[in-house]
Structure 1
Amino acid sequence: MSWTIAEHADAEALAEACATRLGAALDEALRQRGCAVLAAAGGRTAPPILRRLAAQPRDWSAVTVAPTDERWVAAEHPDSNLRALREAFAGAPGLRWQPLVPPRPQGPADATLANTAFTLFDEAFDAVLLGMGGDGHFASLFPGAPTPADALAADGRADAVAVVPDPLPASAPHARVSLTLARLLRSRCLLLAASGADKRAVLRRAAEAGADPRRWPVAALLHAPGAPLEIHWSP
């Protein structure tokens, strides 16, 4: 994959640039097809972007938003990505939602709902907003996690996989359901937003030839064939 890196002066400039780019992608989809589908990350970097995006005027009732990944928790749980996305999009009336997990998950994490749902959204996403952790993970595709072999394969056949991070993150110790690299690559506009010198260093390592996705999962994204990836970074 080819990629570009836009370096912004601060987090506010990054948020404004990403919101503008995502808004343009959604508006192009609405003009061409009358509807749009966005997959968006949780975490700390995405909400300021999404709040700015939600403030833009458009027919939000024609837009569907899905998390790129979700914790195996109830929809109202404080750690739910869907809940965080709903809060960020509070200013977008009529928006449609596509969850990745049941409203009240039971038993082991299971990606059946997500795989069934994204069979319905067979076309490419109109836009995807990804974040990245300091360990190089994106969505919930973590280094060393016991995920199916094709979760980080650009030509994988599954849309979503169940993930149990090892170790579980202290801030959100839950199993997850994550969209796969192959499904995320099927997007007309693919953005990765990251802040901080540590994440810039991870991106440099992952961009090197031969970088191991098992150590730096984002390397699989950077080196995958397909549409260009737009990286937005700020200190």
Structure 2
Amino acid sequence: MNAKIHRHEFADKLTLADRLARAVAATLDAAVQARGKATLAVSGGSTPKTMFAVLAEQEIDWSKVTVTLVDERWVGADSDRSNARLVADHLLHHEARKATFLPLFDATHADDVDAALADVGARVDALGLPFDVVILGMGGDGHTASFFPGGDHLSEATDPAGRATVASMRADGAGEPRITLTLPRVLDTRALYLHIEGADKKDVLARAEAGEDLPIRSVLTHARVPVDVYWAP
């Protein structure tokens, strides 16, 4: 492993959600104070819902925060499979309703994710880099972002020297086609968090750290800042 890993383990998921939300808010607030703006890239799935609810109530200047996604299923925001809908339902409320949200799904190219890559990548690039905070999750198969084992563009998406901002991904475990930030964009951040829950995912992470060829290992190998792992049973 090349990256330094900071471990934060909690007795329960509620405590984890509270501590992670407060850590993220403090980092965003510091960015706003220092540079007048902040950027946050978040992941989907069921794991971050409670953390999003706590984060939404943190009293920072959300009007100067832009939120985007690490990855997205290629479905419209009205789908219950949409990460954009997840963020709208669980994060963009209370104080955080003032934030700007940049989706990755492009309705202009709803039938062809590959046709949307240039436009979506340009919009992400316009946010400026580095991100201030990136929050990753991880599946039981070791995927993070949409870096799925067996994915059709996995090697390109996880190339640490790649120049693309986003990539498409199709894989047996992915369901719909997806769009994802590439590894270099995920890692171009001032703070990097990995939020996982359950003994099974802790074991998967340990396997990756031990050298098993799982997609999460690309993050652990190439991260430019410490990876703060937040875990609860």
Class of the TM-score when normalised by the shorter of the 2 chains: over 0.9
Aligned equivalents of 2:225 and 2:60: distance in 1?
26
Match of 1:69, as an amino acid?
D
Q: Is the counterpart of residue 29 in structure 1 residue 31 in structure 2?
A: yes
The answer to whether the 8 Å contact 2:147/2:154 transfers is: no
2:146 matched to 1:140? yes
Shift in alpha-carbon separation, 1:198–1:168, aligned structure 2, 3 A: closer
Q: Which amino acid aligns with 1:101?
A: F
Q: Displacement, 1:223?
A: 1.2
Kept in 2, the 8 Å contact 1:72–1:105? The answer is no
Secondary structure class of the residue paired with 1:93: helix
Residue by residue over 1:106-144, the C-alpha shift from the partner in whole angstroms, topping out at 9 and shown as x without a partner, is 222222232111221232001011111000101111011
Contact 1:64 1:97 (8 Å CA) reproduced: yes
CA deviation after TM superposition for structure 1 residue 153, in Å: 2.2
Distance in 2 (CA, whole Å) between partners of 1:148 and 1:157 is 14
* SS of structure 2 residue aligned to 1:18: helix
Offset of 1:99 from its aligned partner?
A: 1.0
- Distance in 2 between residues matched to 1:60 and 1:113, nearest whole Å: 26
Partner in structure 2 of residue 123 of structure 1: 129
Query: What value does the CA root-mean-square deviation take over the aligned residues?
Result: 1.4
Cα distance change, pair 225–39 in 1 and its aligned pair in 2 (3 A): closer
Partner secondary structure for residue 125 of structure 1: coil
1:75–1:103 Cα contact (<8 Å) kept: no
Q: Which residue is equivalent to 2:212? A: 211
Alignment correspondent of 1:112: 118
Q: Could you tell me whether the CA contact under 8 Å between 1:154 and 1:185 is conserved in 2?
A: no
Counterpart amino acid of 2:205? Answer: L
Query: Is the 1:154–1:225 Cα contact (8 Å) retained in structure 2?
Result: no
Q: How many residue pairs get matched?
A: 227
Q: Answer whether contact 2:165 2:185 (CA < 8 A) is retained.
A: yes
Scaled by the length of structure 2, what TM-score is found? 0.93
1:159 aligns with 2:165: yes
Aligned-pair identity (%): 37
Please list, as runs of the form range in 1=range in 2, the aligned pairs for 1:9-158 lying within 5 A after superposition.
9-89=11-91, 90-91=93-94, 92-103=96-107, 105-110=109-114, 111-147=117-153, 149-158=155-164
Aligned partner of 1:201 among 200, 203, 208: 203
Name the one with the larger helix percent.
2
Q: Following superposition, which runs of at least 4 residues in structure 1 exceed 3 angstroms of deviation? A: none
Letter in 1 for 2:153: T
Contact 1:109 1:175 in 2 (8 A): yes
* Structure 2 gaps, min length 5: none
* Contact 2:39/2:67 (8 A) holds in 1: yes
Question: What amino acid does structure 1 have at the position aligned with 2:127?
Answer: F
